[in-house]
Structure 1
Amino acid sequence: MKKIFFNIGLLCFGLLALLAACQDDDFSLSAPATEADAAFTFTPSSQTPNIINFASPSDGFIKRWSFGNGGTSVGDNVVGRYPFKGTYEVTLVVYMPGGSATTTQTITIANDDLTLVDIDEYKFLSGGLDAPDGKTWVVDKEMLGHLGIGPATGTWPEWYQAGPNEKANRGLYDDELTFQLAGSKFTYNTGEPGTVYVNASYGGDFPGAPKEPDGNDYIAPYTPPANQTWSLSQDGDKWFLTISNGGFMGYYSGAAPVYEILLLTPDEMQVRSVQGGVPGNVWYQRFIRKGFVRQPPEPEPEPEYKIEDIYENFDGASNVTFVPNSGGSVVTYDNPAPVPVNETAKVGKYVKAPGGGGAFSNVQIQLPYKMDLRQRHVFKLKVFLPGYNDYITDNGAEAWQSYRTLQHQVSLKLQDRTLGGNAYTTQVEVAQRTLETDKWLELTFDFDAAANRTDFDTIVIQVGGEAIYTGGIFFIDDLALQPAVQ
């Protein structure tokens, strides 16, 4: 005990000495940032009074500007473009060693200068100077994925894609969105009987909204607010479309009225927006110019109908490639338990991602032909389900889920991927359930009941169950289509 007290005493003495040294060196923390640090000036450019030059003289190491028209920038000297007359609140946030400071000033633009919007993004969206009545867009209902959900990266709603006309009679396909350049006017015509399509989580935002007859979402009565406007802003090479006054486009997902533009041509537009309250979920939508008729693509040749060997042992013998899907993946890995019935050195490490992004995890084998299952329709697969996975915690968030915990289960499914996001609607599945953990198992999947089907071109392996938010690690090996029974 004496030794401990002695050491503490030395520590306290050292701290006192350090403080004294700091005092001698006149050491002090940085002063807090003040409004004066965020002061800025602005002057019209010599080119036009609708282009404003902003300048900040402070020593802040980051300066973030919001121009009040949807545009943003970073830097000491920045430029704001204001094609339309009006009053705008410009905000500057300056970050200093002692914190941040914010100031706002109001600028007034006296007249429109439509030459500033004589660029493709404005012309494609609104029709430009040649379309005084604006341009009207409708939902691209014939296109696969005209409505869908996916991660916040990429350009495709990989988790779910609505099929052509899938959302008929939902109050969506008769909606018309008109963008006028003059005044940045936005008009939402909901059609008859004046309804919009609303995500299940946000039906409460529309009192009296009835649920759709065969789903969870709502068909809601809606009267768009008056005097809605739109604006475009650019961040690097990305363009964003903002609707004012609580407005939205097409499907209402509870998102802020800001849409990232993924595609914009004179005839087609694709946007995405973060689902309200669920930052990891992004809703994708596609629109076309009213009256636009897409030319049908050239028909692809019918794939060959046949059967070939299908095998993968992760030790070098393989004639397939696994495609990761919806947060599922598989890679070659050292066998974690080289014991019977599987003593090989290498196996496949199958990972099911956690959270909503991994709820439908799987890996796929996408074949270049349609499978002839009449003589050969039995698959075998070895699996190892580690006991260290969490098979108990309920991480589900939706009442409709059949299971809410990770399952001791392996499924093989056969699908027709030409159906895109609807491939699951015609699939056949063979599932092996309540499997033992911490041992290699050899499982058999017999598709005899579907032997006369001619539409399958994809094999799906799914471990741990479906619509489950708990992630997990599993191991697979020796996938093989069995020879025909003689």
Structure 2
Amino acid sequence: MKNKIYFKLIGVFALLVALISCEPYMDENPDSSINLPPDASEMAFTVTPGDDDFHYTIALTSPTLSGISKVKFNLGNGSTVVGKSTSAYYPLPGDYTITMTITTNGGSSSISQVQTTTETDYSIFTDEKYVALTGGVDDADGKTWVVDSESAGHFGVGDAYLAGGVGLDWWSANPGDKEGTGAYDDELTFNLNGFAVSYENFGVSYVKGYMKDDPNLASVYLNPRQNKDDWDVDYETPTNGTWLITERDGKTYLTISSQKPIIPGLDVGALNNEYEIISISENYLELSCFSAYEDWTKWHFLLRNKDYEKPKVTFDVALDAGTGVNEYLVSVGNAVIPDGQSIDKVVVDFGDGTTAETDIYTEALSHVYMRKGTYAVKVTVTTSVESTESSFSAVIDENHPDYVEFLLAEMVMYNDFSEVQLAAVNGQDCFVATADNPDRTYPNKSSKVGFYSKTNQQWANANMQLPAGYRFDLRQVSTFKLMVYGKAGDVVLLKLENTDKGGDAWMTGTELRYTIQNDNMWEVAEFNFEGAGVQPGAESWKWWPEPVSYDVANDDFYNHDFYNIIRIMLNPDIRNDETHEFYFDELAGPHVEGIKSASIN
């Protein structure tokens, strides 16, 4: 009964495991002229029983042949061996066609014979390597492996002749190095039932340049994110094959046999489709192989059980006051780092245009703020697996004693869409872009201007937000200017808000309106917030809980440490499906304390 159960499980077994010890068979007369290959009638090899019912010794028995440069055995189970003799392992019953090929400098000849085996080696069903690779007899669907792209060294290459080398001494891929190629979505599923392996690449595989002309592949194209030696190829799968595990000279090998390539993420043309198993466990499979096309190279692969959720580095990020005035320290603590992972770098953006970084994660990063305000601090922690961001606020109540205010009693150009940009102008619920000037005549001869278009969005706005920590300073100048070009009668609204209030920012707003006077002519729109809220065309707050002043230019609560965004709207009171458009340029206004000049494009 036991035999019947296992035969049913295994089914038709077409590929088995070979234990090989081989010795190169070199040319006996390298200086000779052309040596024709031997006639098949002169060739012979023997198959004799080994130490148990599953192992056999295969050896050349034609010692009188001369001029031989290579002897190769195809063991009938997908394994190919070069040498005068080898040992083969057949753990299941079957008929195996063994082919010997002898090559001279004049060609090659082959002979074959069938070896029939009748015994089953049941130890394979409990062997740790077989169970780890396939999930064992209890996993009817087999185990699926993917490239462990989050780990360093998931691909690598090294010197084929380096003793003890595993293919990492020349190059080792960093996490995500091949993102955007066909490498990381490959799936290899190994099943103990029938020793089957299937390959799914979702239409695209990743190959070395010397593999791009493989007739099994199609529609080769260069992946623009990689160099000339790395190619994506259109390759339709799934592809099925068989696998075997071999042991020789104290090492373990995995051989994959199929009519079309089965690739562990990157096709390097593995010699004899054979990969040395460097290590194997329930969740990780580390392989290396020689290339049949570049015999001086050895390649490295790290695969992960697809169903395994890899543990990640965890940590806390803290912002603490330092000992100095306005000094703050950012630190990473309580780190839990799984085996094989690391914290490689910590970068802190202090929110005022200053950044700092360290590759020693236990080191605290210090910064001194010069201006009072609320700053959005962002910490980026890069581990060997991923990058994680954490954000929080640093509230600075007072200016640093060494800080000198810079007040300017004249208007500042914020954005002219050609040369000067203090901050970008973006669109919310509308289309905003830089466009050609529709009328390059006085008073606006600039080549580029802003363009605004909205459809069925009442409050759609073009907006310019200052960098974190900066505010408009209305103490010397309270007027904003904007050149406009559009339809006479259309209303342009300019609103000031404080985005620190999050979803309630709209409540903080005070706004003024300008009506375009002429059709399709440039004109200057002015918005003077001196006494805003009491002059015609201005709105005050209806729900804002902070102290309400209708003269924001003269109220210290609002006039220099409050507003940080300008919103520009067109016809905000019209609610219909029509499209509303206009051009605008040379957005200017009061000084921005702490920013002495706009950047020049």
Normalized against structure 2, the TM-score is what? Answer: 0.38
Higher gyration radius (CA):
2
Normalized against structure 1, the TM-score is what? Answer: 0.46
Q: Which has the higher strand share?
A: 2
Select the structure with the greater relative contact order (CA < 8 A; seq sep ≥ 6).
1
Q: Which has the higher helix share?
A: 1
